[in-house]
Every structure is written in structure tokens, then in C-alpha cells.
Amino acid sequence: MKTTLTAMLLGFAISMTTFSQTNDDFIIRYSGNGSVVLASGETIHGKVDFVLQTPSRITIIPEGQEKSAKYKSDEVKAFTVDNKQYFAIKMKGGDVSIGNTTSFAQIITPVDAKIKVFLFENQQAVLVTKSYYISIPGDETAYGLTDTRFTPLKK
């Protein structure tokens, strides 16, 4: 009986410690020196902050300034943070059902490749999902690997 009670109290203490942590402890963010290329073509250098819970927004503190600027994916062409390069792409299909929206995704292939592969990461609570998208020349939409255009027809 004492062993059971001790185990229950220990379990309760561990669970209270886990739940007493703030949500910020579980948020994945990529933050560091980088640059943002706006849709207008202007490039801003500074400290970039990209949070997986908001994959269609970024924040940058321009060099020499203290105030941050926030941008949505439809205002930005691309950005880099700690040598990772992200593009604002229109995505359709895939493991994450986000409809036909624009979000930031990390490019996996060389930038000048004809067929580009992107990694899209999204975080909801503590769960992080990763999906891969392919951009085909001549089509401005990137399609998830599970999209029907990549599935051979069966007879």
C-alpha cells in the first residue's frame, strides 16, 4: 500500500512539474542573423525570428534598429535565418491540410534546380508536423508528395 501511494504521489509531482512549464518552453523557433526579401524586391538585413506555430509570418529587427517589423507570407518572397533559406510558396495537398494557401517552407534542393523540394513545418501545441512539397517549372503552386499528380494511375 505504501509503495502504491508513493508511486501515485511521485507521478502526481512529475505531472504537476510538466504542466507548470509555460507554453513558450515547447515553441520551436528559428532565430538568428539573416535577411528578408520583400515582394517589392527590397532586402532587409537583421535578426530574423520564425516560429513554427505561425508558418505564414516572420519578424525581423533590422540592423541598427530596436523596433521589430512583422511580415506575412504574401508580403515576402524569401528569407534566410542561420543559413536556412525559406520561400513563400502557395501549397496544395500534402499531409497537412492547409488548403491552397501561402506559407513559408524551407528549400531542400539547390535554389536553381528545375524541380524544387520544400520542407514545410508546422507546430500545434507540442506536435510538430513535417510535409514535403514539390514545385514544378511553369506552375506557381507547390504540391504535396501525396497529391494525385504524383500517383501513377492504376488499371
Q: Which residues is 28 bridged to in the sheet? A: none
Please report whether residue 102 resides in a domain. yes
* Cα dihedral sign, 51-55-57-60: positive
Q: Is residue 12 part of a domain?
A: no
Which residues partner with 123 through β-bridges? Answer: 128
Q: Does the residue 18 lie in any domain?
A: no
User: In the numeric block, which cell numbers belong to residue 21?
Assistant: 512549464
**Cβ within 8 Å of residue 147, ≥6 positions away:** 92, 93, 94
Q: What is residue 55's predicted lDDT score, i.e. its pLDDT?
A: 87
Compute the distance between CA of residue 20 and CA of residue 13 in angstroms, rounded to an integer. 10
* pLDDT for res 45: 96
Q: What are phi and psi of 14, to 5 degrees?
A: -65, -45
- How many Å apart are CA 148 and CA 144, to the nearest integer? 9
pLDDT tens across the length of the chain (155 residues): 555 544 444 554 454 444 434 456 678 888 999 999 999 999 999 999 999 888 889 999 999 999 999 999 999 999 999 889 999 999 886 554 455 578 999 999 999 999 999 999 988 888 888 999 999 888 888 988 887 777 776 55
Q: How many domains does the chain have?
A: 1
Q: Is residue 83 part of a domain?
A: yes
DSSP β-ladder status, 141-144 and 84-92: parallel
Integer Cα distance of 62 and 153 in angstroms = 50
Which domain covers residue 57, as residue numbers? Answer: 28-150
Q: What is the pLDDT of residue 138?
A: 85
Residue 8 located in a structural domain: no
Amino acid identity of residue 123, one-letter, is: Q
15 found inside a domain = no
Q: What's the pLDDT at 35? A: 96
**54 assigned to some structural domain:** yes
How far apart are the C-alpha atoms of 45 and 24, rounded to whole Å? Answer: 26
d(CA 115, CA 149): 14
